[in-house]
Homo-oligomer: A and B are copies of this chain.
């Protein structure tokens, strides 16, 4: 890419480099007509002052990198919305990068941000991430870093999460209070903290209300609409008795609902369903799906505030990082009323 330089402008106007430079910086030694001529030529030739070079010197690009697993789910796009709102109010721009749930892409994203002159990174880790090296490199460079939702607990950085244990507990408690006794829980096979916590909440709610834990009712797989459908097919073909399903997230719950409908199993009369995350579609479908809301906009706003505080402090890694934990809210809809 050939960019217009001060030298090009100087050549075009047949004046010196330093005259152009001083004219562009409104130096008092330069006459108004010369300033005008230089600025017009700069405009005409598409000259842009080299802000990267100057941000290299000052370290202030007023841009923050946000690294997320994916943006095609309501939860993440909504957290990003919250982050953007606060950051824009404070004069910062946001650049986004999707890891698509892959560890390698996440590393690439961090590298891309480091090379793009962002002032710091706000991130939620991919499902594959179980090592902290890539993010540790950010800290090593003394660049501010904050996590939301999915964090690396061994890194001492600010974070905003929700109480996933509590989410699993209240979803299960709600089903128990509706008289359900054989509650299926669909979770996943990876060792991901937020999902483990939802499972722990489910188990503790059963214990708390004196219900037995039945291994047949705890299913682990990869979460998706299709996996939700598959789980119901398997339960039915294995003739396992159940009267409710609590899924780790909403797409799986949607699959559960679709398959139950195909089997003409009545929702919620025969089987109640509760999902997790309050994806947009859960309120649109019939029956509408009960779910656990994570206050995603609030989470975005909060992590942005923590991050701005961090930026102001300057010595990013000399303080005990602030950790904020949101309380989840159960939204009861037609699928479990």
Q: Which residues of B contact A74 (CB under 8 A)?
A: 72
**Chain A: interface size category:** 35 or more
| Contact present for B116 and A254 (CB under 8 Å) | no
- B-contact 0/1 string along A131-156, CB 8 Å cutoff: 00000010011110000000000000
Q: Which residues of B contact A1 (CB under 8 A)?
A: 59, 119, 141-143
| Contact present for A100 and B84 (CB under 8 Å) | yes
Q: Which residues of B contact A48 (CB under 8 A)?
A: 114, 137, 141
Given contacts A74-B72, A115-B61, contact A96 B96 (CB under 8 A): yes
Q: Which residues of B contact A72 (CB under 8 A)?
A: 71, 74, 77-78, 81
**How long is the Cα–Cα vector from A140 to B46 in the complex, in angstroms?**
5
**How long is the Cα–Cα vector from A137 to B59 in the complex, in angstroms?**
25
| Contact present for A97 and B95 (CB under 8 Å) | yes
| Contact present for A93 and B112 (CB under 8 Å) | yes
Instruction: Check A189 for interface membership: any CB of B closer than 8 A.
Output: no
Q: Which residues of B contact A95 (CB under 8 A)?
A: 95-97, 112, 116
**How long is the Cα–Cα vector from A4 to B143 in the complex, in angstroms?**
12
Instruction: Check A98 for interface membership: any CB of B closer than 8 A.
Output: yes
- CB of A79 to closest CB in B, whole Å: 11
| Contact present for A56 and B53 (CB under 8 Å) | yes
Chain A residues with CB under 8 Å of chain B are 1-4, 45-46, 48, 50-53, 55-56, 59, 61, 63, 71-72, 74, 77-78, 80-81, 84, 88, 93-98, 100, 105, 108-109, 111-112, 114-119, 137, 140-143, 254, 258, 280-281, 284-286
